[in-house]
Structure 1
């Protein structure tokens, strides 16, 4: 058997409802097919999501991290990192909207 590393990537397209915990860190939960993942991020990382919400009409956020401790009804995502991308409409969707 060889050692491996388990990482999880969660994709979102809406700003989660977050609560502020110590030192300005933000904590929020994500429902992934009825499995609740609890995420706590630094203010700098949270800013990526709020900037995307303010700057782009459509966006996608990819939250990656390690599967952490399991609690009563959820998992904790350890060492989360967020990447945000602008989501552009597909060309056929634009053409269909223009023809209507």
Structure 2
């Protein structure tokens, strides 16, 4: 089994927003070359498992990898979202 990989997820809700604050918080991981998966202008109404960037992260993640977020609210909008993602990760 290889080394664990930090995988970064970034999302902003509208075309008028950016993910610069998120990148600032994850700066050390970005500088180390951690792969970043972005969902630009992705509405919070869209379930995390339906967002293309997050789905790509899940497709490429291996057991032991770490998903890093600058802010959990950028991925989850409800406890149910957390539980749904947790169920997917646990099945792996």
Q: TM-score, normalised by structure 1?
A: 0.24
* Greater share of helix: 2
* Greater share of strand: 1
Larger Rg over CA atoms: 1
Q: TM-score, normalised by structure 2?
A: 0.25
**Larger relative contact order (Cα-Cα within 8 Å, sequence gap ≥ 6):** 2
